[in-house]
Amino acid sequence: MVSPPPVRHAVVVEDDADIRGLLVLVLEQLDFVVTEAPDGHSGVEAVRKTNAELVTLDINLPDIDGMEVCRRLREFSDAYILMLTARADEIDRLNGLDTGADDYINKPFSPKELQARIRALFRRAARTPAAPAEDTGQSDELARAAVVQQSLLPRETVRLSGYDVAGAFRPSRSVGGDFYDWYQTRDGMHLTFADAMGKGMGAALIAATVRAVMRSVADTPEIDAAFGSASATITSDLDQSGSFVTMFHARLDSASGTLSYIDAGHGLALHVPAEGAARRLVSSGPPVGILDDQQWPASELELEPGDSLVIVSDGVLDAHNSLEEFQRNVEKVARNGATSDDVCAALLELAPASTAEDDVTAVVVRRKPNAAL
């Protein structure tokens, strides 16, 4: 008989109800049993009662500040403590103090980055477990989920004059909710890159719904109106499953090189220009399914000749110790590949199959250096 995995407890200490709700969802997707605390005093008591292995801790709390909470926790707990701050400049100051925290992250945060940071914390002390006996029923479900997931990938090749477009996907053994989709339009192409939280058939079916809904709004002229309509439909389905979806959706006008895009909680797309440093495209809002009536503003960038758009899944981020290391390596790969196919293959190698715990997915849209201006 297969022993169930040990239960892991986490405490979220956060006074903002919306952020607290998002943190709970993210941690539950990592199989934590989560206790919520709206202030510092109740947070300390929650950690004491649950013997939590992980604490996410806001620095600015209504009663005592996060650093004092951290000090009190260290008197009796060796839980991993991940502190959140709304000020980027505060992280440098905190790193110079002996606060007792294990890591820091800035608000607004990407759920993907948060999950990657947490996985990295637990990998530091992880031991290789004995291989469990195979559950035949679970294996059958995962096999069916893998078939669904593979069916979501685009069958058609995008052939745009002056562009080189490629994608690559490697599923994990547990089968997640990653997928990408693209299709040509009269003016260029539409692209969707998404990850439905969860594993197995449930995540695969949510991903299939997202793909179908996003294709259904292809004729809506404005990207923000199209995304808003699609997200409302998707959210109504997600309410029943308790899940959420991170997405990057873009529309490329191939003649001008103008790329309009919306990032809903994904945060792992990079613009790699022919000259100058790469830039990570920041999310314009939370994942789809977190908040009702959420709106995501659209952004634009110009893909000049020699520029690339690179989008990867959190499986690539998980293989790195920091967001900065991740960005450096992705930029290096993007610049060294002769073709978009080469770049995609190299991106997957950043997260070797022998150690990757999640699906690994990459899409590259490169404007050829000799493309006419």
- Please state the rounded mean pLDDT for residues 176-198: 88
| 329 CB-contact burial (10 Å; exposed 0-12 / middle 13-18 / buried 19+) | middle
Q: Residues near 123 by Cβ (< 8 Å), separated by ≥ 6?
A: none
Between 283 and 353, the higher pLDDT residue: 283
Query: Any idea where the domains of the chain sit in the sequence?
Result: 8-107, 144-367
131 has a pLDDT exceeding 50: no
pLDDT at 132 (0 to 100): 45
pLDDT at 177 (0 to 100): 74
Task: Supply the CATH classification number for the domain 8-107.
Answer: 3.40.50.2300
Mean pLDDT (the chain) is: 84
Torsion angle of alpha carbons 22, 317, 313, 243, nearest 10°? -20
Q: Does 8-107 match 144-367 in CATH topology?
A: no
Phi-psi region of 79 (alpha: psi -120 to 50; beta: other; left: phi over 0): beta
pLDDT bracket for residue 71 (50, 70, 90):
confident
pLDDT at 228 (0 to 100): 93
pLDDT at 341 (0 to 100): 95
Lowest mean pLDDT among 107-116, 148-157, 305-314: 148-157
Give dist(CA 8, CA 359) in Å, integer.
Answer: 23
Lowest mean pLDDT among 122-136, 165-179, 358-372: 122-136
AA letter at 227: F
74 has a pLDDT exceeding 90: no
Q: Name residue 309's beta-bridge partners.
A: 271, 365
pLDDT at 130 (0 to 100): 39
Tokens of 157: 């090749």
Sign of the dihedral defined by the CA atoms of residues 345, 262, 82, 47, in that order: negative
Contact 174, 344 (CB under 8 A): no
pLDDT at 129 (0 to 100): 41
Q: Name residue 258's beta-bridge partners.
A: 253, 302
CA nearest neighbour of 9 among 34, 40, 44: 34
pLDDT bracket for residue 48 (50, 70, 90):
very high
CATH topology of domain 144-367: Phosphatase 2c; domain 1 (3.60.40)
pLDDT at 353 (0 to 100): 80
pLDDT at 243 (0 to 100): 74
CA end-to-end distance (rounded Å), the chain: 65
Sign of the dihedral defined by the CA atoms of residues 351, 352, 357, 359, in that order: positive
Give dist(CA 218, CA 235) in Å, integer.
Answer: 18
Give dist(CA 113, CA 61) in Å, integer.
Answer: 23
Q: Residues near 52 by Cβ (< 8 Å), separated by ≥ 6?
A: 9, 10, 11, 35, 46, 77, 79
pLDDT bracket for residue 310 (50, 70, 90):
very high
pLDDT bracket for residue 105 (50, 70, 90):
confident
- Please state the rounded mean pLDDT for residues 173-191: 84
Best-predicted range by mean pLDDT (122-126, 152-156, 234-238, 335-339): 335-339
